[in-house]
Amino acid sequence: MHTVRFSQVDVFSAVPFKGNPLAVVFDADGLDGAQMQAIARWTNLSETTFLLAPTDPEADYRVRIFTTGGELPFAGHPTLGTAYALLESGYRPRRPGRLIQQCGVGLVELTRRAADCWAFAAPPARIQPLPPEHGVLLTRALGSEAIDFAATPSTVDNGAPWLLVRMHSAADCLALQPDDAALAAVTRAAGTDGVAIYGPHPAGGPADFEMRCLMTGGNFGTGEDPVTGSANAALARLLEAQGRRPAASYTVRQGVALQREGRVAIEHDNDGRIWIGGACITVIEGRFRY
């Protein structure tokens, strides 16, 4: 019997139970991929991460990210939550206020944006507009006539591919009751395992955008994800590409349909980089036996 350190972190929330939980397994160099997958299936969370010694001299650490169904080269809330858990454990960054994570997409930079908030640099993304003829199928799958087709629905792949769809309003986003089977057919045709649906809040609302992420199979699993860093990074890239970025800094609320209330902060800096940040809090600490 072996044991390793373990934390469960709530990501994109400053208080427990309002964000997206992440299991983080420390000192995982002795685990192989099959063992990691078995642990991820057992935790039954959207993602479980495994901290490893880096193989790139520029990196502070290496991480492997698993869903219950497979390994991802990148995911957002695991990136932020793993960095937070590592820092909470007493790790001191090689460069003050900066971390370099090694993962399947390469090196991802994180920086401290505030006293209690770190952010990761959104990785590059491939953007592919959804063919117009798929619009009718998407409308039927979502069961809504409130899709804003002026912002073309698009697949955005930053290591975790999402189909992004804009609604006319945040209220339209929250009101959706999609047909799961029909939606899965649309996302399969688009080459993704999920759809990220977003809509703008009115001025003075709780955030600039509301988002919901519906997972439709494959490595993502199924169901609704509480708060999704990769989808918010994809949204930032898409807003930039479509000329719809509201400001240099803006916020997204996610998880309301699941009685959560995650908050994601997005910042475009003067160097052209996009930072995806939010608060985290440790909920469980202990040891994992295998």
Please identify every residue annotated as catalytic: 47
Distance (Å, whole) CA 10 – CA 91:
19
Beta bridge partners of 167: 147
Strand pairing category for 274-278 and 98-103: unpaired
- For residue 53, give the nearest of 87, 29, 19, 78 by alpha carbon: 29
Provide φ and ψ at 13, rounded to 5°: -155, 140
Provide φ and ψ at 270, rounded to 5°: -70, -15
Taken as a whole, the chain contains a residue count of 290
Strand pairing category for 209-216 and 249-254: parallel
- For residue 176, give the nearest of 146, 150, 134 by alpha carbon: 146
The sign of the CA dihedral 11, 15, 17, 18 is negative
